[in-house]
Amino acid sequence: MSALGLDKMIAVAGAGAMGSGIAQVAANAGHQVLLFDSVPGAALKGHQRIAAGLEGQVSRGKMTQDAADALVGRVHVAENLDQFSKASLCIEAIIERMDIKHTLFNEMEYRVGPDVILASNTSSLSLTALARGLKHPERVVGMHFFNPAPVMKLVEVISGAATDPAVAQITAATARSWGKVAVHARSTPGFIVNRVARPFYAEALRLYEEGCADPATLDALMVEGAGFRMGPFALMDLIGHDVNFDVTQAVFNAYHHDPRYRPSLIQQEWVEAGWLGRKSGRGVFSYAPGVDMPGPQTETLTVQGVLQPFDAERVQYEGVIVARTDGRTAARRACDSGKPVILYDAMTGEGGKRVALTQSPNVDASQWHGVVEKFQQLGLQVSRIKDLPGMVVMRTIAMIINEGFEAALCQVATPQDIDQAMQLGVNYPRGPFFWAQQFGCEQVLAVLDAIHEATGDPRYRASLGLRHAVDLEALQA
């Protein structure tokens, strides 16, 4: 299916940061755009927000003044929804409430022709429910942009039960013509990104609750050891714990309290305390003036300089088993082997600079310091963590991989679209299926099974999709 031509008008309902951003994207592609908001004066403010943002680009030399003026000139403030009758695609970007969105869809359908596409920018609500009761539910589709819309490349195109496949294809083609990467998803709670991203937050919160390490250390391990742009605690502080907790709770409720999406009690406490993150001045970290961010726990450096690239297989120490985590605790492996055990966490090959180590109780101080020095000789900062199953990076990545396989198994999206969505929607260094190939599905499954056995927590049950992938790997070997 072809994209909507530039002669087709685009209408956007909701002139907040997201709505005005979507309007800017469509106008930048060359469409005439209507921008409406039910709050008096809000659409004009949205128009002004677009103009102000472009002024910054002009001043930085990223856009000419003529191009900025032309773009702003293609965005028109709509006084009422009646003007939407001229549009070929109407996109709503209003408050995330089903009742209010549903009312808006009914009002838009009343004013536009039967062939006009009605799209929702919802990040979590059911497209099937939004389309219910409309005369033409087949033309309702999700068009989920990521904030800020002019910058973020991803658009999730969501099909509800009644969505005409042709409508989804036209919507995706239109998003691509606007310079976006469009991925298709079925309307299930969280779609792709908000579903597959849950373990990134959930495991960090759970590890903190279990006393694994402090938040700064857990963040540093995910950034310096796994290549993420931000650690989970810093990111939750940026998003806002109220927002993050509400999304987690919504996904948890939508999946009928599946333990995989269980909200965190400690995050609930932070919300109840008003520790919402940057916007409140305090979250996991303090953002008060003059307060420095805490640094990660790092073992005392005894080796100066980087001697060679990271190669954990070369780390050996007499009398101690040194091995990468396989999901079992160091104590469990010491019991199984009869020898002291020091475990190191996974690294994802993204230029890691930090690794977590943990030990069984029968490791003495000289053995610990000897192994730490071996890792320091490889140019790595070492953080000591509590002996918990799966450690930090491996446990988190394994859970993200598992959620990706579960989403693909349930035909939410293809593996390729899932990987693209996670990299472009939330800036992951890689997608779950890439990591599965890097670590090997058999190892990921072994890690999850070991954590599940150790904790008894059903949140760590392995997806049938992952188990099928292990069988396929074995047959192809």
pLDDT digits (tens, 9 = 90+) for 271-293: 999 999 999 999 999 999 999 99
Residue where the block lists tokens 């959930």: 202
Mean predicted confidence (pLDDT) in 358-362: 97
List pLDDT tens digits, range 162-190: 999 999 999 999 999 999 999 999 999 99
Mean predicted confidence (pLDDT) in 113-117: 94
Contact 390, 384 (CB under 8 A): no
List pLDDT tens digits, range 27-76: 999 999 999 999 999 999 999 999 999 999 999 999 999 999 999 999 99
Count how many Cα atoms sit within 13 Å of the Cα of residue 258 in the half-sphere of its side chain: 15
Mean predicted confidence (pLDDT) in 433-462: 97
Tokens representing residue 434 in the block: 């890439």
- Is the pLDDT at 311 greater than 70, yes or no? no
pLDDT at 1: 75
pLDDT at 314: 59
Q: Do domains 9-187 and 393-476 have the same CATH topology?
A: no
> Given pLDDT bands bounded at 50, 70 and 90, which one contains residue 307?
very low
Cα gap 260→251, rounded to integer Å: 10
Map out the domains of the chain as residue ranges: 9-187, 393-476
- Is the pLDDT at 149 greater than 80, yes or no? yes
pLDDT at 411: 97
Q: To the nearest whole number, what is the mean pLDDT of the chain?
A: 94
Contact 203, 396 (CB under 8 A): yes
Mean predicted confidence (pLDDT) in 350-374: 91
Domain 393-476 has CATH 3.40.47.10: no
Tokens representing residue 331 in the block: 């104590």
Give the 3-state DSSP-derived string for the chain, with helices as H, strands as E and coil as C: CCCCCCCCEEEEECCCHHHHHHHHHHHHHCCCEEEECCCCCHHHHHHHHHHHHHHHHHHCCCCCHHHHHHHHHCEEECCCHHHHHHEEEEEECCCCCHHHHHHHHHHHHHHCCCCCEEEECCCCCCHHHHHCCCCCHHHEEEEEECCCCCCCCEEEEEECCCCCHHHHHHHHHHHHHCCCEEEEEECCCCCCHHHHCHHHHHHHHHHHHCCCCCHHHHHHHHHHCCCCCCCHHHHHHHHCHHHHHHHHHHHHHHCCCCHHHCCCHHHHHHHHHCCCEHHHCECCCECCCCCCCCCCCCCCCCCCCCCCCCCHHHCCECCEEEEECCCCCHHHHHHHHCCCEEEECCCCCCCCCEEEEEECCCCCHHHHHHHHHHHHHCCCEEEECCCCCCCCHHHHHHHHHHHHHHHHHCCCCCHHHHHHHHHHHCCCCCCHHHHHHHHCHHHHHHHHHHHHHHHCCHHHCCCHHHHHHHHHHHHHC
Q: At what angle do helices 65-73 and 42-59 cross, to 10 degrees?
A: 160
> Given pLDDT bands bounded at 50, 70 and 90, which one contains residue 305?
low
Is pLDDT larger for residue 474 or for residue 35? 35
> Given pLDDT bands bounded at 50, 70 and 90, which one contains residue 304?
low
Mean predicted confidence (pLDDT) in 313-337: 89
Pick the CATH number of 9-187 from 3.10.20.740, 3.40.190.80, 3.60.15.10, 3.40.50.720: 3.40.50.720
Q: What percent of the chain has pLDDT over 70?
A: 96
For 225, other C-beta atoms within 10 Å of its C-beta total: 26
List pLDDT tens digits, range 366-394: 999 999 999 998 889 999 999 999 999 99
Mean predicted confidence (pLDDT) in 193-209: 97
Distances (CA, A) of 290 to 136, 203, 240, 281: 57, 30, 21, 12
Q: Which residues are catalytic?
A: 123, 144, 156, 194
- Is the pLDDT at 475 greater than 80, yes or no? yes
